[in-house]
Structure 1
Amino acid sequence: MKYPLDCEISFDKSYLFWLCRFIRNKITSLSNRQVKDKNRLAQILHELITGYNTISELKSSIKEVRNIGINSIHVYFIPLEKLYNFLINFGAASLKEIDEELLSDFLASETANLSDATKKNYRIALISFFGYIDKQNEEKNGFVHRYGIELKNWGGLSGKSGTKLPSFMKKEEVQRFIQAIDKYEFSNKIAARNKLIIKIILYTGIRVNEAINIDLKDFNKDEDAYIIQVRGKGNKPRVVMIKESIIENDLKEWLEYRLTNENLLFCNQKGKALSQAYISSIVEKILLSAGIRKEKNGAHMLRHTFATMLYQKSKDLILVQESLGHADINTSRIYTHFDKDKLKRTTDIF
Structure 2
Amino acid sequence: MQTDLEQFLEHLRSERQLSPRTLEAYRHDLTGLRDYLHEQGVSDWSMVDTEYLRRFVARRHEQGLSGRSLQRALSSVRSLYRYLIRERRCRHNPALDLRAPKSPRKLPRALDADLTARLLNESDDDDWLAIRDHAMLELFYSSGLRLAELAGLDVHELDLTAGEVRVLGKGNKTRIVPVGRHAREALQRWLKVRLLVDSPDQPLFVGKQGRRLTTRAIQLRVRQRGVQQIGQHLHPHMLRHSFASHILESSGDLRAVQELLGHADISTTQIYTHLDFQHLAQVYDQSHPRARKSADKPGAPKNRDES
Confirm or deny: 8 A CA contact 1:260 1:271 kept in the other structure. yes
**Cα distance between partner residues in 2 of 1:269 and 1:98:** 59
Q: Given the two structures, how large is their TM-score scaled by the length of structure 2?
A: 0.68
Whether 1:193 aligns to 2:190 is no
Q: Are the aligned partners of 2:82 and 2:93 in contact in 1 as well (CA < 8 Å)?
A: no
TM-score under structure 1 length normalisation: 0.61
Q: CA deviation at 1:121?
A: 6.0
Q: Aligned letter for 1:164?
A: K
CA RMSD across the alignment: 4.4
Distance 1:104-1:305 versus aligned 2 partners, 3 A rule: farther
Would you say the 8 A contact 2:33–2:56 is kept in 1?
no
C-alpha separation between the residues in 2 aligned to 1:208 and 1:134? 39
Aligned partner of 1:150 among 79, 92, 95 = 95
Question: C-alpha displacement at 1:311, in angstroms?
Answer: 0.4
Shift of 1:312: 0.2
Counterpart-to-counterpart distance in 2, 1:201 and 1:108 = 42
Q: What CA deviation, in whole Å up to 9, does each residue of 1:121-160 have, x standing for no partner? A: 6267436633552466x3xxxx4345615353445126xx
Specify the alignment match of 1:205 in structure 2: 144
1:279 aligns with 2:214: no
* Identical counterparts, % of pairs: 21
**Which ranges of structure 1 fall in alignment gaps of 5 or more residues?**
26-47, 49-57, 60-75
Correspondence for 1:174: 116
Gaps of 5+ in 2: 287-295, 297-301, 303-307
Is the alpha carbon distance of 1:122 and 1:103 closer, same or farther for their aligned partners in structure 2, counting shifts above 3 Å?
farther
Report if aligned partners of 2:151, 2:214 keep a CA contact under 8 Å in 1.
yes
1:291 — aligned with what? 231
Whether the 8 Å contact between 1:215 and 1:265 is mirrored in structure 2 is yes
Superimposed CA distance per residue, residues 243-300 of structure 1 (whole angstroms, 9 cap, x where no aligned partner): 344343454334533231222212345655433233223223333332336xxx4211
Verify the 8 A CA contact 2:144 2:241 in the aligned structure 1: yes
- Give the SS at the match of 2:17: helix
SS of alignment partner, residue 167 of structure 1 = coil
Counterparts in 2 of 1:85 and 1:322: CA distance versus 1, 3 Å: same
The corresponding residue for 1:6 is 3
One-letter amino acid matched to 1:83: D
CA separation in 2, counterparts of 1:212 and 1:254?
16
The alignment partner of 1:6 has SS state of: helix
Q: Deviations over 1:84-134 (max 9, x none)?
A: 6745876979994995535863586369574x6x46862674366335524
Query: Number of paired residues?
Result: 274
Change (3 A) 1:288 1:112: farther
CA contact (8 A) 2:81 2:90 kept: no
Say whether the 8 Å CA contact 1:119–1:156 is kept in structure 2. Answer: no
The structure whose RCO (Cα within 8 Å, separation 6+) is larger is 1
